[in-house]
A = this chain, B = another copy of it.
Amino acid sequence: MNQFRRAGLALALALSFGAAGAQSFSDADLAVAAKLREAGQASNLAYELVDSLVTEVGARPAGSANDKKAVDWAVAKLKSLGFPVVRAEPVPLKAWKRGEAHAHITEPFAQPLVMTALGMSVATPKEGISAEIAYYPDFATLKADTSDKAKGRIVFVDQKTERAKDGRGYGPSSTARTQGPTEAGKRGALAFAIRSVGTDHDRLAHTGATRYAEGVPAVPAFAVSVPDADTIARLQRYGKPVKMHVSLQAELGIDAVSHNVIAEIPGTDLADEVIAIGGHLDSWDLGQGAIDDGAGVAITAAAAKLILDSGAKPRRTIRVVMFANEENGLDGARAYAEKYKGQKHQLVAESDFGAGPIYRFQTRVRPEALGVALVIAEQLKPLGVEAGGNEGRTGADTGVIQRAANLPVFSFSQDGTDYFDFHHTANDTLDKIDPAKIRQNVQVWATAVWLAAQSPVAFHPLPAVEKKPAQ
């Protein structure tokens, strides 16, 4: 319902600003948009880029040897695609490196556990930790616990992740993952474990970053697979202590340098205004990083390549950014925000939600540009994309950049119904991408980015953001 209200609002605003007429696109620009949609339908480039990246490099956690290979791959690939500007910009970071990790139930019945350390987790002692489990059905129950139940135990939070097209189930459970170790540490727990943040029923654990609050003891943190979480839950019914042994090794704070890899199509008369689009080049170490986020870098690069190959010259500069270390620190986004602060951005937009089809287009542009935004939305309808409103939000990397300078945003909602089946697991492999669906993404991006580049109206500056009162 929110969406409809937003869309209504957008339309009302557009009409009140007199969007139609003078402030629309030339027939030539609209003809290019139609050509891009058609050319996108015939191109397999995005799929081929993911294939090349995951086959020739594979997993590429930030700061690793494979991360360097990925940067080299990206520079070479973008050059070979013919982008006139290609560069790699250094991003210093503190890397985290997974070591061996094992856990199993020792009582009341011995059971192996499929588990994985969470990113940034501290290690256990070499000999591991053996302790009783303190079971919490969800994160709220842990946060509300004022007893000493967790003390000296391994906290287990059995927080489930809701399956939803728009991925809204991820919010609550990823919060449990990031804040859980702190809540466990506060209560004197020895370690923190969580049901994998995932919608699948596979015997594969989901990793993902966690963090520790200042002044709270940092406890080792890991996720068990969904079926293993079910086993732990079933063990509660026997009315006996459930005991676990866990050993988890990890290295923290490794000095490393990665790179944001950038390709540009320089603009013509409005070259100083930038359309920054991209995804992140790094991936978790467990899978191949196909949907997270090979897809995003491939979709945005392939969209720019379609525009490049159309022969049409964009007025504004189109910049594809393959960000460094999204997963475990957002260092690439912060480096970009710092380097390009003060540069005019027509918009920022990110693809980091797999390769499911885009079903909705939202914007965040200044009111004077709403009419143009509506015309762009019209141009996306043939691709099965509905118009949303003007309260578009962006991804993790471009979110950092957007908030730093209150920049305009394009937001493309993808169908992520199955995204969290595979996200952050060994199952993030090429076969999870449907060539037809990733193709639709490229068509949408190319069309929208081209029109944004040609817009007769700047999308910036946005009205100043009102600070919300603390809740």
Contacts and interface: CB of A to CB of B under 8 A. Distances in A.
A157 B54 CA distance: 22
Contact of A203 (B201, B204, B230, B231): B204
A425 interface: yes
Interface in A40-76: 51, 54-59
A432 B201 CA distance: 8
A271 interface: no
A226 interface: yes
B114 A426 contact: yes
Nearest to A425: B203
Contacts of A203: 204, 287, 425-427, 429
* Number of identical protomers: 2
A202 B235 CA distance: 27
Contacts of A426: 114, 203
Contacts of A114: 426
Given A201-B432, A202-B202, A203-B287, A55 B231 contact: yes
A431 B204 contact: no
A3 interface: no
A55 B234 contact: yes
A202 to B, nearest CB: 6
Interface in A185-205: 201-204
Nearest to A432: B201
A63 to B, nearest CB: 17
A234 B51 contact: yes
A432 B202 CA distance: 10
A227 B54 CA distance: 12
Contacts of A230: 429-431
Interface string A283-310: 0000110000000000000000000000
Contacts of A427: 201-203, 227
Contacts of A109: 55-58
27 contacts: A51-B234, A54-B231, A55-B109, A55-B111, A55-B231, A55-B234, A55-B235, A56-B109, A58-B110, A58-B111, A58-B112, A114-B426, A201-B427, A201-B429, A201-B431, A201-B432, A203-B204, A203-B426, A204-B204, A227-B427, A227-B430, A227-B431, A230-B429, A230-B431, A231-B429, A231-B430, A234-B430
Given A54-B231, A55-B111, 15 more contacts: A55-B235, A56-B109, A58-B110, A58-B111, A201-B432, A202-B202, A203-B204, A203-B287, A203-B425, A203-B426, A203-B427, A203-B429, A204-B204, A226-B431, A227-B431
Interface of A: 51, 54-59, 109-112, 114, 201-204, 226-227, 230-231, 234-235, 287-288, 425-427, 429-432
